[in-house]
Amino acid sequence: MSWVLKDVLLYGEGDPVDVLLTDGRIAEIGNGLGAEESLEGAGLVLLPGLVDLHTHLREPGREDAETVASGTLAAALGGFTAVHAMANTDPVADTAGVVEQVWRLGQEAGHCDVAPVGAVTVGLGGEEMAELGSMADSAAHVRVFSDDGRCVSDASLMRRALEYVKAFDGVMAQHAQEPRLTVGAQMNEGVNSSKLGLGGWPAVAEEAIIARDCILAGHVGSRVHICHVSTAGSVELIRWAKEKGWDVTAEVTPHHLLLTDDLAATYDAVFKVNPPLRTQVDVDALRQALADGTIDCVATDHAPHALEDKETEWGAALPGMTGLETALSVVAQTMVETGLLTWRQVAERLSETPARIGRLDGHGRPLAVGEPANLCLVDPGARWTVDPAAMASRSRNTPFAGRTLPARVVATFLRGRATVLDGKPA
């Protein structure tokens, strides 16, 4: 089936054009084009399909919280055409068999491409390196490895893993948390943690690991990616590492661009996350770092949880927030409406750069004739109120419930096939 997207603004710029999609690619860009199906896009912004480097799909093992099918449908509704599925499933994605299972489930669901992330260590245990080579050679073609949810705290093991992935251009994605500095931690360490009587999570616990791993990556000449950066000090360390010329990249989550640790005063565990919400000073530093390129991209860290794991007392609740269906809107509010990013730069931070870091061919490509038709059509003027019950995710732990956010995804196309139309599953 062929589609023509009528009168759309490429990257939100220039004059409106028609974009013809045929055989999974952008066939023509011009005016007065026709096709079997037509979508009126007057005033809408056309972007390359979004790519998430950090998604928890929970399958296998916690299908009560999320499945590959439900999570990727949520992703498509959020404008994503590819997601990287983190390894902390049950069983852990530490073998070729498990990563291939996750990859095939994504193929079967068909909402967006799923690139499994392989575990760095066996069972996320932090002691024995997993089968990185066999996962890289598998049908899933794994290129990103992470023990996310846990830090690879052993410096010797981290060095060996960095050396190993060089052979196939892999990247180590580190959850930066020195475990000995976060024993009993429940929220950001600071004035609020003292007032609330909750165990503090010091910024230095993140920053110490980032400093160590940047130095290690520079020493062995390998690639390291820092997950969910949350502190102003982390920003300065990443900036320093890049000035050294080391192959270091970093991501920030939408919730760390908007929310602060003041919300812990509600004792509502929906605001408990790993790493924790920080201060307004940190939020401002993260926004500026994303704008100037110190932080390379936005990643959702979509972390769905079953009701009983979040609607409980703060200390017993699991950390994490959903984010796939709200990510673009939060970025629009914090970065576009503030003048820190243009829509073209949003395409870079949410599509082109994460696709490059994850080595995903066919995603994050330019809006040009001959390129794959992985696309996202956005209404920048829309306003919508977040309703957890209306979301595609099986879980309801969004920190944005009841908030009115700007910009909404109107349509998503995966290789020219509509997965979302008029903001609903196609």
Residue 39 and residue 54 in one domain:
no
Say which of 18, 282, 301, 379 is annotated catalytic.
301
pLDDT, tens digit, 9 for 90 and up, residues 129-149: 999 999 999 999 999 999 999
Question: pLDDT (tens digit, 9 = 90+) per residue, 186-231?
Answer: 999 999 999 999 999 999 999 999 999 999 999 999 999 999 999 9
Residue where a domain terminates, one of 302, 332, 357: 357
Contact predicate 411/422, CB 8 Å: yes
Q: What would the mean pLDDT of 78-100 be, rounded to a whole number? A: 98
Residues spanned by the domain of 12: 3-45+371-425
Last residue of a domain, one of 316, 334, 357: 357
Is residue 363 in a domain?
A: no
Q: Which domain-ending residue is among 357, 380, 406?
A: 357
Within a domain: 362: no
In a domain, 365, yes or no: no
pLDDT reported for residue 209:
98
CATH number for the domain spanning 389: value is 2.30.40.10
Q: What is the mean pLDDT of residues 252-276?
A: 98
Predicted local confidence at residue 236, as pLDDT: 98
Q: Are residues 64 and 41 in the same domain?
A: no
Q: Which residues pair with 84 in a beta bridge?
A: 115
% residues pLDDT > 70 (the chain) = 100
Q: Is 301 marked active-site?
A: yes
296 and 387 in one domain?
A: no
Collapsed DSSP state (helix, strand, coil) of residue 260: coil
Residue 278 lies in a domain: yes
> Nearest 5°: CA angle at 188, between 184 and 194?
80
- Give the CATH number of the domain where residue 248 resides: 3.20.20.140
| Residue 202 included in any domain | yes
* CA–CA separation, 268 and 402 (whole Å): 14
Sort strands 248-252 and 297-298 into parallel, antiparallel or unpaired.
Answer: parallel
Same domain, 175 and 293: yes
Instruction: Say yes or no: 413 and 286 in one domain.
Output: no
The answer to whether position 366 is within a domain reads no
Count of domains in the chain? 2
| CB 235 within 8 Å of CB 287 | no
In this prediction, residue 17 has a pLDDT band, given cuts at 50, 70 and 90, of very high
Q: For residues 204 and 111, state if they share a domain.
A: yes
**SS3 at position 170:** coil
The answer to whether 48 and 376 have CB atoms below 8 angstroms apart is yes
Same domain, 54 and 41: no
307 plus 403 within the same structural domain:
no
C-alpha 313/C-alpha 396 separation (Å) is: 17
Work out the mean pLDDT of the chain and round it to a whole number: 98
**What is the three-class DSSP state of 399?**
coil
Whole-number Å distance between alpha carbons of 5 and 27: 12
The average pLDDT across 332-340 equals 98
Domain identity same for 30 and 146: no
Domain identity same for 238 and 334: yes
Give 382-415 pLDDT, tens digit per residue.
999 999 999 999 999 999 999 999 999 999 999 9
CA angle 41, 43, 44 (to 5 degrees): 55
Residue 127 resides in a domain: yes
307 and 343 share a domain? yes
Answer yes or no: is 252 within a domain.
yes
Instruction: Name the pTM for this structure.
Output: 0.98
Judgement on whether residues 353 and 377 belong to the same structural domain of the protein: no
Taking residues 320-327, report their average pLDDT. Answer: 98
Percentage with pLDDT > 90 across the chain: 100
Summarised one tens digit per residue, pLDDT across range 160-181 is: 999 999 999 999 999 999 999 9
Cβ–Cβ < 8 Å for 164, 118: no
